[in-house]
Amino acid sequence: MPLSSGDNHPQRFELANELHARPFPKMRAPCSCAYLAIKQPHDAAHRDPQEDRRHLLALLNHYGAAMPAEESNHYYASLGRVRLKWERHTEFVTYTIYADGVHEKPFTDDLFAHFPAEWIADAPGKVLTSCIIRVEPITTVQEAEQTLDEHIKGWFVEESLATSRVVDDNAIVCGDFRIDPAGHVRFAILACDGVSERRLGRIAQRLLEIETYKSMAMLTLPEARRIAARVGELDDELARLVSAMAENKGPESETLDRLLRMAAEIELLVARSAFRFSAAGAYEAIVNQRIEVLREERMTGRQLFSEFMHRRFDPAMRTCRSAQQRLTDLSGRAARASNLLRTRVDVANASQNHQVLASMNQRSELQLRLQETVEGLSVVAISYYAVNLLTYLLTPLAALLALDKKWLTAGLIIPVVLAVMGMIRRIKKGLNH
């Protein structure tokens, strides 16, 4: 029973079509292709799709070609006698021109004429890499050996040349990963009779991907070197601060402030380099995977693509990983040193606070004793005025009773003092309650 549209997940067809959205090109020897990868000079997690689309439409309008669908990330169309493949990736966008036949002069850049100079200058970014692939037919591997021996010095730099038989001896691939005088990286594919068009297209696509992702991964190397140099300086400064902490040199608050400023700079380095380091690891994995699927076999003692990468590319990636690891380790050590010194400062502050509290308690006791002394004087003063007031009040009554004023005053003193003392005691009891 067929499913209704309401039974399907909203993204089911979109996700299924994504697996088939980027088909490999069909290529038939002899043929050639020109390739451009464009990236913004600064690091950006995502490209502006509108700018990439505008740039693609400018090229298509130049040739009067059909327009791509909205929100598409890939496009394949005919531009007269050549074919164009456009792909948009996270950090870069690629343009590939495929043409039948090869130029009489090997690796001429005539095919790049399909990319107008003003159009390249108006690109949303700069050219990260550009490649030329020359595909020639051969009958046997021995014929390929003869072709390489005759043309290798003119096509490639022999010192850097990597050559291997790939995909079950169906083709020979060659490349030196150097930029030629015209500004392009050269690859050659010698395709045996009977290799399918799709398979040949996959081989060419793998070579372009190896060069592109290798270049993307290598973007991290200058940043890694800069960070490694700064990490070395910060490491020395951290060692000096920790040594000062161990020897109790200088004010701890000043040392803590320097540690916190150092930790802030380290975290800033981590934040700014995290994307580039993680991207380098991902691109390195793709390069190794693309080389692996070629299923290389050695050809008469020549170095393989995997060996070239092991000697030239892997050391750069190890440098990047080392810089990242050193930065991570430094961040952890700076955090531990800051926590240790902060603990010492807290303990010192706690000791000072204890001394302050003890001093406050001592002062409170002195104030209490002084207060008790003042209370005694207050009883005397209040009693004095109270006795005088009562004496004035009771003098007329004493005259009627023929009582001497002195005896009246003397008789009032003790009751008044006791009354005042009782009143003050009740007030203190009420306040304490």
Residue 341: which pLDDT band, with cuts at 50, 70 and 90? confident
| Cα dihedral 337, 338, 343, 349 sign | positive
* pLDDT, tens digit (0-9, with 9 covering 90-100), for 382-406: 777 776 777 777 777 766 666 666 7
Give the tens place of pLDDT for each residue, 51-63: 999 999 999 998 8
Model pLDDT for residues 98-116, shown as the tens digit of each residue:
999 988 888 888 899 999 9
Give 203-241 as a DSSP string.
HHHHHHHHHHHHHHHHTHHHHHHHHHHHHHHHHHHHHHH
Q: According to the model, what pLDDT value does residue 7 have?
A: 66
Cα–Cα distance, 102 to 97 (Å, whole number): 13
Q: 10 vs 78, which has greater pLDDT?
A: 78
CB of 106 closer than 8 Å to CB of 147: no
Lowest mean pLDDT among 106-110, 224-228, 305-309, 385-389: 385-389
Query: Which of 23-32, 116-125, 127-136, 199-208 has the lowest average pLDDT?
Result: 23-32
The dihedral of CA 103, 104, 106, 107: what is its sign? negative
Which residues are paired to 231 by β-bridges? none
| Token pair in block for residue 147 | 């072709």
Q: Could you give the C-alpha distances from 373 to 112, 120, 237, in angstroms and in order? A: 105, 97, 61
Residue bearing the bigger pLDDT, 321 or 193: 321
pLDDT at 20: 56
Beta strands in 41-138 (DSSP E): 74-79, 82-88, 92-100, 126-138
Report pLDDT for 2. Answer: 58
> pLDDT grade, residue 254 (50/70/90)?
confident
pLDDT at 332 over 80: yes
Token duo for residue 393: 């009040």
Residue 100: CB atoms within 10 A of its CB come to 14
Quick check: 286 and 209 in contact, CB under 8 A? yes
**E strand intervals along 89-184:** 92-100, 126-138, 162-166, 171-179
Q: Residue 37's pLDDT band (boundaries 50, 70, 90)?
A: very high
Predicted TM-score (pTM) above 0.85: no
Closest CA to 292 of 187, 195, 166, 197: 166
Amino acid at 221: L
Q: The sheet that has 171-179: what strands, in order across it? A: 74-79, 82-88, 92-100, 31-39, 126-138, 185-192, 171-179, 162-166
- Using one digit for the tens of pLDDT, what is the confidence trace for 192-221? 888 888 999 999 999 999 999 999 999 999
Q: Is the pLDDT of residue 433 over 60?
A: no
Closest CA to 309 of 133, 158, 152, 160: 160
pLDDT at 401: 65
Average pLDDT over residues 181-186: 92
Q: State residue 3's pLDDT score.
A: 55
- Write the CA distances from 72 to 17, 47, 57, 302, 428, integer angstroms: 12, 14, 12, 42, 87
Which residues, other chains included, contact 61 with Cβ-Cβ below 8 Å and sequence gap of 6+?
none
pLDDT band at 427 (very low <50, low <70, confident <90, very high): confident
Paired tokens of 231: 């990490």
Question: Is the pLDDT at 44 greater than 70, yes or no?
Answer: no
CA distance 305 to 163: 7
- Given a cut of 80, whether residue 167 has pLDDT beyond it is yes
Residue 36: enclosing H or E segment and its boundaries? strand 31-39
**pLDDT bracket for residue 146 (50, 70, 90):** confident
Q: How far is CA 120 from the centre of its chain?
A: 30
pLDDT at 173 over 90: yes
What percent of the chain stands above pLDDT 90?
A: 40
Specify the pLDDT at position 12. Answer: 66
Flag whether pLDDT at 311 surpasses 60.
yes
Here the tokens at position 319 are 């440098």
pLDDT mean over 401-429:
72
Assess whether the previous peptide bond of 124 is cis (omega < 30° from 0).
Answer: no
DSSP letters spanning 262-325:
HHHHHHHHHHHHHHHHHHHHHHHHHHHHHHHHT--B--TTPPPHHHHIIIIIHHHHHHHHHHHH
Amino acid type, 35: Y
> Per residue in 338-361, is it b (16+ CB within 10 Å) or e — as a string?
beebeeeeeeeeeeeeeeeeeeee
Report the pLDDT value the prediction gives residue 296, as an integer from 0 to 100.
Answer: 92
pLDDT surpasses 60 at 4? no
pLDDT at residue 278 greater than cutoff 90:
yes
At residue 255, the pLDDT reads 78
Q: Which amino acid is at 122?
A: D
Higher pLDDT, 351 or 177: 177
Q: Tell me, what's the pLDDT at 55?
A: 93
**Does 348 have pLDDT greater than 70?**
no
Every domain of the chain and the residues it spans: 12-214, 220-347, 373-432
